Amino acid sequence: MITLGFLGSFGHCVGMCVPLTTAFSLSLTQQQTFPPWQQQFTFHLLLNLGRLLSYTLVGAGIGALGSVLIAGGQMAGDGSWLRQGIAILTGLMLIWFGIVQVKPQFLPRLPFLHPLTQGNLHNRLSAAMVRLSFHTKWWTPAALGIVWGLMPCGFLYAAQIKAAETGSFWRGAAILFAFGLGTVPTMLGVGVSTAVIGTNQRSQLYRLAGWLTIFIGVLTLVRTGDGHGLIYITGHGALLCLMLALIARPIRRVWAQPLKYRRTLGVGAFVLALVHVGHTIQHTLGWNWQAVFFMLPQHQFAIACGIMALLLITPAAFTSFDRLQKTLGKHWRQLHLLSVPALVLCAIHVVLIGSHYLGTLQQTWRNYLFVAGLGLLTLGVLLVRSRWFWSILSLEKFYAPPLRHNQ
């Protein structure tokens, strides 16, 4: 987390916070004609200590909230569904933030965080802080730093999400403290760093921090829980993402929002499928490939269907780039249409091997209910993609035909 804060501070913090830091310096300069460097250093040291305190308190609060949510009963264990769900969400969001740092236009902004990152709120808080900086109290820079630490920041969200996943007051505080500590050298010596390090070098460091964020996200997914619950969650998560990706285009005239995230949903399905396979190999097979030959034929067939489904969506995942879409032309759509049979194979895989479906020896009415529900969902996705389905409902005008490759 210290490394993440340090590397990211050269790109994000220099770009977003240097104007604010410069304004603080100018306000101090106007108070005294020639302030000595010791006074500037003390001012910015108190400013950053206040920001560090704010980060730490926020991290402690987020971690404490997480500890309250998992404080009782089965939710307290490492293998609990809530802890695993939080860890999975944390890992996926860290990967999302990391990808946005590496390639800003590849993924859209998260819709529920977008209102917090609007420039108006940031600008209003900045203006208020600059006005406050003209006060001459000794504690003014520390107060400014505390308020500064509460400002909306997309880069800071990555550390806050990781703090929430800890489910601990002290570990949450430590996560945000370490992250803030990593940003202090750049912010404290911002005048020197901006002169020595050029824009291109800062951009490279910021992208490197993005790769580090992705690595932390992947590590969070891999180390989640005891694996058995994660197998269930990631498998269903991959299936849900694939379904949403497949219906995003046909329903765009009725509901346009999912189409913005179709690429994200498709790649998310692939990532979750990989995590699902990895945990299955680790926790179910124990890396003993011979164990497959001692399984029931039904389970062996289910595993084969799952492997085939993963192979079918792999080309779509690796060609989800604008440049490759233009290069491949009509062949790009043909590759991505392989996701349709992959969906059917995924559904068969889940039904035949899932413990909530037909994968258990003792089946109840709930198992058959789950089978019927998944079957209807899969059939619904296939029907939504069919023009015939819209025509028999007399809703053909709402059906969105496939986009041409140059669109």
pLDDT in tens, 376-407: 999 999 998 887 777 777 666 655 566 554 44
pLDDT in tens, 145-158: 787 777 766 667 77
> 179, 284, 287, 172: which is closest to 234 by C-alpha?
284
Convert 378-392 to b/e letters by CB count within 10 Å (16 or more is b). Answer: beebeebbeeebbee
Dist CA 193 CA 185 (whole Å): 9
pLDDT in tens, 103-125: 766 666 665 454 444 455 556 66
Top mean pLDDT of 18-22, 104-108, 216-220, 402-406 is at: 216-220
Dist CA 154 CA 97 (whole Å): 8
- The C-alpha angle with vertex 63 and arms to 53 and 8, in degrees rounded to 5, equals 60
> 121, 119, 96: which is closest to 109 by C-alpha?
96
Question: How many helices (H) does the chain have, and how many strands (E)?
Answer: 19, 0
Greater pLDDT, 160 or 216:
160
Lowest-confidence pick of 59-68, 85-94, 114-123, 275-284: 114-123
SS (H, E, C) 270-292: HHHHHHHHHHHHHHHHCCCHHHH
Maximum pairwise Cα distance, the chain: 84
361-372 mean pLDDT: 90
212-234 mean pLDDT: 69
Contact 377, 243 (CB under 8 A): yes
The total number of residues shown for the chain amounts to 407
Question: Average model confidence (pLDDT) for the chain?
Answer: 76
Does 42 score more than 90 pLDDT? Answer: no
The DSSP element (H or E) to which 354 belongs, if any, is: none
pTM summary value: 0.59
341-357 mean pLDDT: 94
Dist CA 353 CA 306 (whole Å): 10
pLDDT at 73: 44
Does 218 score more than 60 pLDDT? Answer: yes
